[in-house]
Chain A
Amino acid sequence: MRSGKITLAHGSGGRLSRELIEREILSRFTAGALAALPDAATLPRPGNELIFSTDSFVVSPLFFPGGNIGDLAVYGTVNDIAVCGGKPLWLSLALVLEEGLELSVLCAVLDSVKNAAQTCGVQIVTGDTKVVQRGQCDGMYLTSAGVGERLPAFALGQSRLAAGDAVLTSGPLGDHGMAVMSVREGLNFQSGPTSDTGPVHRLVAAAGELSSAVKMMRDPTRGGAAAVLNEMVSGSNFDVVLDEANIPAAPNTRALAEILGFDLLHIASEGRFLAVCERAAAEELAQRFRRFPEGAGAAIIGSVAAGQGRVVLNTVTGGRRLVSLPEGELLPRIC
């Protein structure tokens, strides 16, 4: 781990910039298009349509139980591509660093970026580094963009929804949001939740010949499962009906949500996705997900029914209620 701090000169384009890029960026991301530091990456044309996505990351704190902003920057964009039915291939990474940031913090984040990219089999092919004055950003902000190739077996869209379809989750919900909340100022919990930050592309690919039975996929990040499911059926003639008893959640995540008065369905995950698929394929799909550690907690949590574009929850207690969109910003800056 290197010592020292980021200074404005590291973003000046001069000698220190060059040193920073050579020592910390190139040393980690030499393979492929980035090696010669061109102004833009030149990439081979894949066989299928391209899927392109971008996301910015401003999580506070930068490090949280289960991950850091570097993991998020890779998995966030990779997962967006994956749930659109794509195979992620290349990423860009732009860093905005605050003057005074410890070099060791930057190194730790870049190590995570490197490991996460390797895990996902994607290459960081272009990037940028800027430094802003102290106080103009909170440590560091990252932006990643990603390009993937569409997996032709998927045909996703709300128009394919039908009554009787099953709703699946790839794992327990809400771990990321509650893990970040647990380390926020003033809330120090021992053995609190751990973020689920991680990739979902392997699970998506594991659908294989069942891909055509999958009708919609979304990752429940900000706004949680409630926001994603409401968007899935919004404007349609269908409801999603969830069974509370079947919704998986880690015990410590659930406990913290209860203590703080949050609805778990409103809390973000960063390594999960929800899928709607034909009922006949649901159990087999869930089993395929469960073969991977990141899909070990996969479960069928509800179904699609004729309705009015609402999300309804059958509660454990036997009651029935609406699952609405979260109002306002529950937890700012969680990703």
Chain B
Amino acid sequence: MKYIDGFREPKAAQAAAEEIKVLAQRLEREVRIMEVCGSHTMAIARCGIRTLLPPNVLLLSGPGCPVCVTDGGYIDTACELARRGICLATFGDMMKVPGSECDLSQIRAEGGVIQVCYSPLDALEYARAHPEKEIVFLAIGFETTTAPVIGMLHAAITQGIGNISLLTAFKIIPPAMVVLASDPAVQINAFLCPAHVSAIIGAAAYQVLVDRFALPCVVAGFEPLDIIYGLCGILRQLVHKTAQVENQYNRVVRAGGNKRAQALIAEFLKPVDASWRGIGLLQGSGMGLGEKYAEFDAEIRHGVQIELGRPNLACRCGDVLKGVINPPQCALFGKGCTPQHPVGPCMVSSEGSCAAFYKYSRSVL
């Protein structure tokens, strides 16, 4: 249990929070720090970290939840496949993501067969047990999820299980960070870099942000002390006017990342342009199956094509994902858009910025 309590130790947290206050005072200006990982968003809200920070240190929640950034058009295609009688296998969070007209939970209520999985391997077991069915796995996620999904596909091929294919919308984090850093509407002073994504791609993957934009980048774990120390590291760099990649989460993350996962991804996938809900089409920010594995591409196997979705115009998830506004600044937040009746993707996923804000900090701040 030390592994939980040690990373939440109140005295250490208090001391680090004090250091943050001192550093923030020395900066004498507003500092905008973006986290780009949904688990950071959740941990920050759940531990009440914003309430520990001085008013001039602002935390912005970027596009850190793979469910949030899944385009409506992708959901439309998944619904279309289910309506044709194809069995879908998906992570549970995807059930409520709004498509242009309906979501997957409605499709299931209409009689569509949708298996909710905890792990990609659950989908493989389902495919093995139902050789008479065609299974499409909704292959969304950042690098952390991409690796195990590809591991599952590798196992399917090795074991000769042919009745499963992937509807891919894999995303890569660093290109999105570059776009955000280049956007004049989004003023970011530093990035709190993701924990588990970095375990795959390696801390060095953020060097591009240091080189091109001189932004401090600190990789941090998900425990409250990880995050607070990460913020300390960022403020120290800002005070000393330096910018570098710092790895606070070095008990898990290596500079070069997980080479085995990278090799697997490189064998099966190729970079593609990807549509991020609320942000738009970003060049080279996604991964799709390579030609060699085209038969496992659900779009090819089932003759469908993912089109761009039609978003609800009142929803400002795009601005939330970019960190232009905080969730409560959206007119729909907590009124027309709640976790029970989500409009935008940030409210849909439990890791979404709006859901985290709604759940943990609505009226405390």
Known A186-B118, A251-B1, A321-B51: A315·B363 in contact at CB below 8 Å: no
Contact of A258 among B4, B228, B362, B364 (CB under 8 A): B4
**B121 CB, nearest partner CB in chain A, Å:** 10
1/0 contact string of A296-320 vs chain B (CB within 8 Å): 0000000000001010111111111
**A322 CB-CB contact with B under 8 Å:** yes
Contact of A319 among B1, B51, B122, B339 (CB under 8 A): B51
Known A255-B1, A317-B52: A322·B362 in contact at CB below 8 Å: yes
List chain A residues, Cβ under 8 A from B14. Answer: 318
Is the pair A319, B48 in contact by a Cβ cutoff of 8 Å? Answer: yes
List chain B residues, Cβ under 8 A from A313. Answer: 48
**A263 CB-CB contact with B under 8 Å:** yes
**B83 CB-CB contact with A under 8 Å:** no
**B187 CB-CB contact with A under 8 Å:** no
List chain A residues, Cβ under 8 A from B52. Answer: 317-319
**A331 CB, nearest partner CB in chain B, Å:** 13
List chain A residues, Cβ under 8 A from B362. Answer: 322, 324
CA distance A320 to B53 in the complex (A): 11
CA distance A125 to B357 in the complex (A): 50
Is the pair B48, A321 in contact by a Cβ cutoff of 8 Å? Answer: yes
**A327 CB-CB contact with B under 8 Å:** yes
**A245 CB-CB contact with B under 8 Å:** yes
**A254 CB-CB contact with B under 8 Å:** yes
Is the pair B10, A245 in contact by a Cβ cutoff of 8 Å? Answer: yes
**B274 CB-CB contact with A under 8 Å:** no
CA distance A251 to B2 in the complex (A): 10
**B128 CB-CB contact with A under 8 Å:** no
Contact of B50 among A187, A308, A312, A319 (CB under 8 A): A319
Q: Which residue of B lies closest to A325 (CB)?
A: B359
Is the pair B4, A255 in contact by a Cβ cutoff of 8 Å? Answer: yes
Is the pair A324, B10 in contact by a Cβ cutoff of 8 Å? Answer: no
**B45 CB-CB contact with A under 8 Å:** yes
Is the pair B1, A315 in contact by a Cβ cutoff of 8 Å? Answer: no
CA distance A261 to B39 in the complex (A): 10
Q: Which residue of A lies closest to B121 (CB)?
A: A186
Is the pair A315, B47 in contact by a Cβ cutoff of 8 Å? Answer: yes
**B207 CB-CB contact with A under 8 Å:** no
List chain B residues, Cβ under 8 A from A312. Answer: 364
**B124 CB-CB contact with A under 8 Å:** no
Is the pair B364, A322 in contact by a Cβ cutoff of 8 Å? Answer: yes
Question: Which residues of B are in contact with A by a Cβ distance under 8 Å?
Answer: 1, 4-5, 8, 10, 13-14, 17, 42, 45-52, 118, 122, 224-225, 228, 339-340, 350, 358-364
Q: Top 4 closest A-B pairs, CB basis?
A: A319-B48, A321-B48, A317-B224, A327-B339
Known: A316-B10, A324-B362, A327-B340. 6 other contacts (CB 8 A): A312-B364, A316-B224, A318-B14, A321-B46, A322-B359, A322-B363
Q: List 6 A-B contacts (CB under 8 A).
A: A261-B350, A316-B224, A317-B13, A317-B48, A319-B49, A321-B45
